[in-house]
């Protein structure tokens, strides 16, 4: 275990003279990123207060439990709370480091809504002490770090706030360090991945990087806050554009009558071609959302990024239309839908195209839909109330004449062509081709 930095190392000469804060670190937002980060920091010896607006979440964490499914997280939180290095609260304490990990949803017209980040900044400002450091981890439109600085400046005229682009200055530090971890591998990737740390000033970046260097095994790469904000949006836009290419190919292949999986497999044997995999659309709360933040920042320039989003959204419509064509070809037949999650082997349904498609089909054909999803015990209410049934894999295959693979969960991968004999099959993930 790495030793945590002491106050003087983290805040520079004289910092130890400041009034003592309640905790070394306050993590604002105990969701998919905040809770694992808080627990890892505690496991590396830091004294952490996790803050959440939900009393239920706070109580769960203080009892050593977790409210989200993520590999190894339950063990980590249990150990962190037992050791008393992690406590949770609905109140923001005075701390050396404040880490903001709250949601940044899409607002009306696909524009970013940073109101939770702004609220977090407002909740930090009254308690902040000179020498402290605010780090924003939430995926954010470019300029959000400066907006946080503005809010703190308005609320705390007694403190000098660093200015973007200045060489030095400010009584506190403010920086942006995006999370880049993959759901399902969050605990591992929080430690292993390189981090990009962007400060309002170089001093801000250094102070923020000192925290990450205490637990990250990858490199901590220093830059300014605007570049760091852009890097995060670009990473997910890059993936979205590449998936859009694969999804568009699959629609072209449908139209010209070739097998897209064969085309991609053979094209990828070219030494400089690496096409991703088509699916029923793109889900999750990152890739399906973040590119819009780039588009909002530069609507005229971001043409490819916008189009990729539209292609990936349209792929879900195309998929649903293909399933409806199968249903029309077999009147009265039962339909097995395999998978609802936004990607394989997780229980996360956020922005899931599979869930959206299933809900639309259930709205018309509820009682004919047999939904197989090994990661849940009950169907989401939106589908259950339409008459669909959560069914075991074997029972669904026995009853259904139409089988649609929406998610290639490992639990489905043992299936063989003989399991589908005599049925109409639509495999949106190419599970049987890979």
Can you give the binding site for ligand SAJ, defined by CB under 6 A?
Answer: 139, 179-183, 235-236, 239, 243, 276-277, 279, 282-284, 286-287, 342-343
Question: Whose Cβ is closer to ligand SAJ: residue 85's or residue 285's?
Answer: 285
Residues 6+ apart with CB under 8 A from 255: none
Question: Whose Cβ is closer to ligand SAJ: residue 239's or residue 423's?
Answer: 239
Q: Is 378 exposed, middle or buried (0-12, 13-18, 19+ CB in 10 A)?
A: exposed
Question: Whose Cβ is closer to ligand SAJ: residue 11's or residue 412's?
Answer: 412
Q: How far is the CB of 113 from ligand SAJ (least distance, A)?
A: 16
* CA 314 and chain centroid, separation: 21
Q: How far is the CB of 229 from ligand SAJ (least distance, A)?
A: 13
Residues 6+ apart with CB under 8 A from 410: 344, 345
Question: Whose Cβ is closer to ligand SAJ: residue 11's or residue 342's?
Answer: 342
Q: How far is the CB of 64 from ligand SAJ (least distance, A)?
A: 26
Token pair recorded at residue 340: 């609802």
Separation CA 297–CA 111 (nearest Å) = 9
Cα–Cα distances in angstroms (integers) from residue 61 to residues 29, 93, 276, 420, in the given order: 12, 17, 38, 45
Q: How far is the CB of 282 from ligand SAJ (least distance, A)?
A: 4
Question: Whose Cβ is closer to ligand SAJ: residue 105's or residue 169's?
Answer: 105
CA-based nearest residue to 431, from 279, 301, 264: 279
Collect contacts of 8-17 with beta carbons under 8 A, ≥24 apart: 9/210, 10/96, 10/97, 10/133, 10/207, 10/210, 10/211, 11/96, 11/131, 11/132, 11/133, 11/207, 12/131, 12/207, 14/131, 15/131
Question: Whose Cβ is closer to ligand SAJ: residue 47's or residue 137's?
Answer: 137
Q: How far is the CB of 178 from ligand SAJ (least distance, A)?
A: 8
Q: How far is the CB of 352 from ligand SAJ (least distance, A)?
A: 7
Token pair recorded at residue 61: 């964490």
Token pair recorded at residue 30: 């105990």
Tell me the catalytic residues: 232, 286
Token pair recorded at residue 342: 């936004």
């Amino acid at each position: 275990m790495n030793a945590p930095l002491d106050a003087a190392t983290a805040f520079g000469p004289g910092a130890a003279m400041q009034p003592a804060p309640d905790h070394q670190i306050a993590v604002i937002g105990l969701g998919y990123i905040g809770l694992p980060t808080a627990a890892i920091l505690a496991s590396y010896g830091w004294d952490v207060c996790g803050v959440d607006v939900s009393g239920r979440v706070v109580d769960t964490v203080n009892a050593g439990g977790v409210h989200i499914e993520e590999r190894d997280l339950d063990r980590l939180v249990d150990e962190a709370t037992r050791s008393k290095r992690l406590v949770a609260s609905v109140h923001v304490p005075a701390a050396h480091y404040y880490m903001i990990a709250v949601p940044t949803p899409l607002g009306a017209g696909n524009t970013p809504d940073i109101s939770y980040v702004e609220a977090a900044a407002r909740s930090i400002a009254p308690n902040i002490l000179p020498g402290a450091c605010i780090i924003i981890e939430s995926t954010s439109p470019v300029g959000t770090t400066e907006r946080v600085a503005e809010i703190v400046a308005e609320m705390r005229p007694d403190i000098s706030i660093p200015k973007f682009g200045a060489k030095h200055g400010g009584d506190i530090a403010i920086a942006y360090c995006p999370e880049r971890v993959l759901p399902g591998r969050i605990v591992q990737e929080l430690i292993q991945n390189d981090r990009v740390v962007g400060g309002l000033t170089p001093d801000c970046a250094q102070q923020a990087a000192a925290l990450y260097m205490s637990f990250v095994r990858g490199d901590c790469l220093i830059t300014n806050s605007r570049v760091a904000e852009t890097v995060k949006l670009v990473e997910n836009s890059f993936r979205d554009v590449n998936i859009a290419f694969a999804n568009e190919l699959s629609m072209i292949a449908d139209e010209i009558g070739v097998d897209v999986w064969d085309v991609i497999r053979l094209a990828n044997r070219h030494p400089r071609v690496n096409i991703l995999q088509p699916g029923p659309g793109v889900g999750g709360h990152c890739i399906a959302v973040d590119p819009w933040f780039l588009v909002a920042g530069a609507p005229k320039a971001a043409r490819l990024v916008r189009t990729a989003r539209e292609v990936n959204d349209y792929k879900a419509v195309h998929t649903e239309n293909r399933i409806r064509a199968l249903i029309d070809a077999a009147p009265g037949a039962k339909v097995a839908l395999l998978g609802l999650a936004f990607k394989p082997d997780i229980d996360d349904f956020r922005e899931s195209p599979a869930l959206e498609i299933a809900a639309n089909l259930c709205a018309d054909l509820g009682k004919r839909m047999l939904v197989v999803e090994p990661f849940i015990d009950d169907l989401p209410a939106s589908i259950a109330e339409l008459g669909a049934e959560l069914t075991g894999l074997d029972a669904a295959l026995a009853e259904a004449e139409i089988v649609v693979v929406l998610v290639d969960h490992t639990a489905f991968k043992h299936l063989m062509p003989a399991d589908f004999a005599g049925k109409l099959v639509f495999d949106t993930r190419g599970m049987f081709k890979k």
